[in-house]
């Protein structure tokens, strides 16, 4: 017998909208099941049912989750109008319509998760979701401990408040006048690490995201990917749920 799931969950899993938005769409009469408009939130459907949102059939794909070690010079998107390399180019064997959760800048390398599970993605990107994102930056110049404290206190850059959870110097090279600094963020605003170091006067030469929550890049090279293990997905989901409540 086909597994029955709540209609709003099926819509969210298909990446059409968040679960909350899906509920609103159901209430607004924008969803049909087997050709009939359904406005009941508790409605359960199986894979055998034809679900349409605003007249468009949803794909009932099995949810998949991948970890990619994104190289530098790659766009965190599924397509690029300038013809540059995008993250999905590195997972050509994956048949599902996957997309990246959040983004890493073009010139930043490191860990990014790709999935077709819209609900999972929305949960991980929720602003209240305090998952540790660990970055390692190579700076031009060697910041002092006091200056790194500034990152933790928070700063306003171009009218936007930016703050790190933690920042520490891992190593320094006096001859080259460079430092390797570990920075932990909970949010991930556009070019946040680079902008913070620019504001301190220590431009970032290289930047890599080494860890995302409980996931890291051990044993992987840039451009490689692997499926997440079920328990890894479970741990991330639990982290997100815990912080969003």
- Mention every residue, 6+ apart, whose C-beta is less than 8 A from residue 182: 134, 135, 136, 137, 166, 167, 168, 170
Structure token digits, residue 158? 């171009």
Burial class (CB in 10 A: 0-12, 13-18, 19+), 79: exposed
Q: Is the dihedral of CA 205, 181, 216, 61 positive or negative?
A: negative
- Whether 117 is catalytic is no
Between CA 209 and CA 216 the distance in angstroms is: 9
To 10 degrees, the CA torsion angle through 15, 21, 25, 31? 20
Q: Do residues 148 and 167 make contact, with C-beta atoms less than 8 angstroms apart?
A: yes
Q: Which of the residues 105, 107, 132, 216 is marked catalytic?
A: 105
Q: Which residues are catalytic?
A: 105
């Amino acid at each position: 017998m086909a597994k029955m799931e709540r209609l709003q969950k099926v819509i969210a899993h298909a990446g059409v909208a968040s679960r909350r938005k899906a509920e609103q769409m159901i209430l607004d009469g924008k969803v049909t099941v087997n050709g009939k408009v359904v406005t009941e939130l508790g409605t359960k459907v199986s894979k055998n049912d034809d679900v349409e949102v605003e007249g468009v059939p949803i794909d009932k794909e099995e949810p998949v989750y991948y970890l990619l070690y994104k190289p530098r010079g790659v766009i965190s998107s599924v397509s690029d109008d300038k013809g540059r390399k995008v993250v999905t180019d590195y997972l050509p064997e994956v048949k599902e319509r996957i997309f990246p959760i959040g983004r890493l800048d073009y010139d930043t390398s490191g860990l990014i998760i790709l999935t077709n599970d819209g609900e999972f993605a929305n949960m991980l990107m929720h602003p209240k979701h305090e998952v540790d994102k660990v970055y390692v930056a190579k700076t031009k110049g060697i910041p002092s401990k006091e200056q790194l404290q500034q990152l933790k206190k928070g700063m306003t850059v171009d009218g936007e408040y930016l703050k790190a959870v933690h920042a520490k110097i891992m190593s320094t090279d006096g001859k080259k006048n460079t430092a390797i600094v570990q920075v932990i963020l909970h949010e991930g605003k556009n070019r946040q690490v680079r902008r913070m170091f620019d504001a301190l006067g220590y431009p970032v030469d290289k930047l890599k995201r080494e860890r995302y929550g409980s996931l890291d890049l051990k044993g992987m090279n840039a451009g490689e990917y692997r499926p997440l293990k079920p328990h890894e997905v479970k741990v991330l989901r639990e982290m997100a749920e815990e912080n969003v409540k």
